Structure 1
């Protein structure tokens, strides 16, 4: 009996050691807080200062950096594939040609290559820059782990099937968010990113119709009439394709809960915004966030972490690019 027990214990000991080894190996490939503490202690400080300087010079930068993260993570995961330049890349797709903030990412990368060459990924820079952009706009401080690696694949054909179109129905949005591991609450929360940033007129033109004389009239009855008139004035027929309007006309550069208050007033810029109020599955969440900014901020830190962790490449996957617009030779 004692011999059997000893053998049993030894067997379990070996199993435990094997499990411990595998767990340790797996953990080294995971994201971690202070991932660069030893290899590049100033990494987050450099990104933070770069974002701060750029935002001080141009208040539209935070909105651009936040949007850049969304468009990166939803296609191929958070691997900086959206930064790659060239014919047929994600960046060349019409859905991404209006993206901005690339110069900020490139600036941070150049500095990091001076102090810590070949160490900090472009994917981490994009995630950290978006995190800092929210904070500098008055939003919550979010702790996110690092250790992402850069992808080598970037195809324009992957963009449209993985990006939310402003004309999407709720079912279409839920299906897409679910495929990324994001819940209905995440959908309602992350839509709050529209509290900063701007949009081109073409992004919401489907809510209006143009008569033979070129005049626009409202066809989306879920939109406040006064707000609709304001939009038509800002985006008249023949407006330059580069013309933009603020996502949130009240507090354009402040990351707050005004976006949800706008929705309650039927002043959501996109159809995909307004539907959060008209659909019973998300209306309650909109009402909660509109009344309680603390609740929105708490939910944001959780959902943002999930967003910035979609399909990450770690360990031996991908690479650490020397330059964000190109893969290593």
Structure 2
């Protein structure tokens, strides 16, 4: 064969191989469930094993991981900014002082840095860990898209204007959710996260007043009387700031639809839980999920996917941190 023709054929073949490679290589600008198929194929297994081991040792871990994801995604987007330590970071805001399970995400990161160095973002690890926390407590397994980059900004001043407060009305809750691209239906569905986890007594202390003898007296008509007295006993005025109560006193360790059954019976722990049945826009969904766990699980999958893709960063919008608690130097 003529040397020029041979070189031309080789050039065409090389170009075609490059085109095929580019076509099948996941793009960092678009999240994909198989983003790490080539670069770190066992990432999901490693994260799940880490979450399972931690949860076996400490049953509060699943609820903490799920809450951690909410507090991450609602502020700077799902970019792991809540994981950063340092003066003035999100973690220093009083609303975030009670967050936990940071060590679980960091443990998974250290493992992945050994097997897939510089490849998997802390933001993706947190999403996977929260996803696994739901499944390990009885909830649905969700296939989540990956490819997030870790954010470079974490500021305490951004926390309060973005997170949800337990004293919010439905209007305030809806406004905060819609500002993140979430619907009022997402609000009801994602409130179901309170089927696991716990809350500190001060998260619902505004629902009580203190009488002259120092006893807590229910002051919220949206609480069933016996349930309110039960809470008053669990959280007396003398209780320490570290005292917590399960969000769902009936099945605290199970991700199920009991939360909605509780709320319908006026046994929602937080004011922001109870208001869901006091508004026609949200009550019908609470009733639907109380009657059907399948309906809740189906809706949870869709709403969780929307939550976990809020404000994601890709390409040069962020980085892959070497450690989740600090940006790369």
In the superposition, the TM-score normalised over structure 1's length comes to 0.92
| 1:62 paired to 2:62 | yes
- Contact 1:85–1:325 (CA under 8 A) maintained in structure 2: yes
How far the C-alpha of 1:26 sits from its partner, in A, is 11
- Contact 2:26–2:35 (CA under 8 A) maintained in structure 1: no
How far the C-alpha of 1:59 sits from its partner, in A, is 1.1
How far the C-alpha of 1:235 sits from its partner, in A, is 0.3
Q: Secondary structure at the match of 2:316?
A: coil
Aligned to 1:315: 315
Q: Secondary structure at the match of 2:95?
A: coil
Aligned to 2:71: 71
C-alpha change, 1:24 and 1:280, in structure 2 (3 Å) is farther
Please give the residue correspondences for 1:211-250 in structure 2 after superposition, counting only pairs within 5 Å. Answer: 211-250=211-250
Q: How many residues align?
A: 307
Please give the residue correspondences for 1:158-169 in structure 2 after superposition, counting only pairs within 5 Å. Answer: 158-169=158-169
**Structure 2 CA distance for aligned equivalents of residues 214 and 276 of structure 1:** 31
- Contact 1:30–1:315 (CA under 8 A) maintained in structure 2: no
- Contact 1:167–1:270 (CA under 8 A) maintained in structure 2: yes
**Structure 2 CA distance for aligned equivalents of residues 241 and 156 of structure 1:** 21
- Contact 2:263–2:274 (CA under 8 A) maintained in structure 1: yes
Deviations 1:127-146 (A, max 9, x none): 00000000000001111000
**Structure 2 CA distance for aligned equivalents of residues 104 and 177 of structure 1:** 27
Runs of 4+ aligned residues of structure 1 deviating over 3 Å after TM superposition are: 23-28
Deviations 1:79-124 (A, max 9, x none): 0000000111000110000001101001000000000110000000
How far the C-alpha of 1:24 sits from its partner, in A, is 11
Aligned to 1:13: none
- Structure 1 residue runs of 5 or longer lacking an equivalent are 1-22
Aligned to 2:20: none
- Structure 2 residue runs of 5 or longer lacking an equivalent are 1-22
Aligned to 1:119: 119
**Structure 2 CA distance for aligned equivalents of residues 170 and 113 of structure 1:** 43
**Structure 1 CA distance for aligned equivalents of residues 128 and 180 of structure 2:** 20
In the superposition, the TM-score normalised over structure 2's length comes to 0.92
- Contact 2:289–2:296 (CA under 8 A) maintained in structure 1: yes
